[in-house]
Amino acid sequence: MTGANSDQAEHWNSSEETGHWVTHQDRYDRMLGPFTAMILGAAALSPGDRLLDVGCGCGATTLDAARAVAPGTSLGIDLSAPMLARARENARRSGLGNASFERGDAQIYPFRQAFDAVISRFGVMFFADPTAAFGNLRKATRRGGRLAFVCWQPLLANEWLIVPGAALAEHLPLPELQEPGAPGMFALAEPGRIREILAGSGWNGITVTSGNASIQVGATVDEAVAFLQTGPMGRRVLVGADSRTQARAIHSVRHALAGHANQHGVLLDAAVWLVRAAA
């Protein structure tokens, strides 16, 4: 597939990247579930609404929204073919006939209907041209329609990344941080930039509020270590290291996570921006 986000399309269709998301879909959805509730509440959904979920991944937010807007419709769009295949299977198993999925680049996609609400759970930080992308989404939203999404606050505000990252850094170099504003996890980490982009793309009534949640990275320490070890950060840091160095790094991660374990699992704080706007 070609499009304005061709680099991101290649990334999110690689088996190495999407395999972890598809294999561990239930774990990711449990981790990120608190933010789904934030988004759906902020979007003020009503039965009969036509909803668009941007960067829907394996479809959990799209399906939750479909339940909220029935008999309305819920459309998920994403660049990743493997994740959309899982999303369609999940919709079939759930019996939700009002949920559908399309593969496309939301920055340039020619949407064929006017939506009452646009939502996203960490799916809007990867645009090559965010002003153009949010402009395209605004054009696809009816006058008075709503936008609600969550994006990550800066790295240092997110304990769920800092704790294992610091443990790994005792033994191995961490990947370089992305350039400020570059497409990626922290592209919208600064509230001022969010407001500037949305205002520049025609959205009104913009609010950016802080949201926090304690997320479970594993039901046990062993489970959390295995999940993080095979996840994006673990793979990038551990690749190429000799087995003894890898073992020491993993031991440090295990020790760090053990301090955050209780009867509810391994819990770490996560910080997001909850963004709302009107078309």
Is the model's pTM score more than 0.95? no
Q: What is the pLDDT of residue 14?
A: 59
| Average pLDDT of the chain to the nearest whole number | 92
- What's residue 2's pLDDT? 40
CA 158 to CA 22: how far, in whole Å? 23
Residue 51, phi then psi, degrees to nearest 5: -120, 145
CA distance 101 to 88: 7
181 phi, psi to nearest 5 deg: 85, -10
5 pLDDT more than 80: no
Q: Are 249 and 238 in contact (CB under 8 A)?
A: yes
Phi, psi of 174 (to 5 degrees): -85, 155
Peptide bond into 71 cis (omega under 30): yes
Q: Which residues contact 53 (CB under 8 A, 6 or more apart)?
A: 61, 62, 65, 74, 75, 76, 77, 118, 119, 120, 121, 123
β-bridge mates for residue 273, sequence order? 151, 210
Which tokens hold the place of 139? 């054009």
Are 105 and 137 contacting, i.e. CB atoms less than 8 angstroms apart?
no
pLDDT band at 13 (very low <50, low <70, confident <90, very high): low
Amino acid at 160: W
Omega before 34 within 30 of 0, i.e. cis: no
The tokens of 121 are what?
A: 């759970």
Q: How far apart are CA 258 and CA 222, in angstroms?
A: 9
Vertex 224 angle, CA 221 and 229, to 5° = 125
Write the CA distances from 85 to 103, 240, 248, 252, integer angstroms. Answer: 10, 32, 38, 37
Domain 6-154+177-213+270-278 has CATH 3.20.20.70: no
The percentage of the chain sitting over the pLDDT mark of 70, rounded to a whole number, equals 94
Query: Residue 95 contacts by C-beta under 8 Å, 6 or more apart in sequence?
Result: none
| Domain locations in the chain as residue ranges | 6-154+177-213+270-278
Reported as a single tens digit per residue, the pLDDT across 227-275 is: 988 888 888 888 888 999 999 999 999 999 999 999 999 999 999 999 9
Residues 6+ apart with CB under 8 A from 75: 50, 51, 52, 53, 62, 99, 100, 101, 102, 115
pLDDT at 9 over 60: no
Mean pLDDT of 169-175: 91
pLDDT tens digits for range 103-135: 999 999 999 989 999 999 999 999 999 999 999
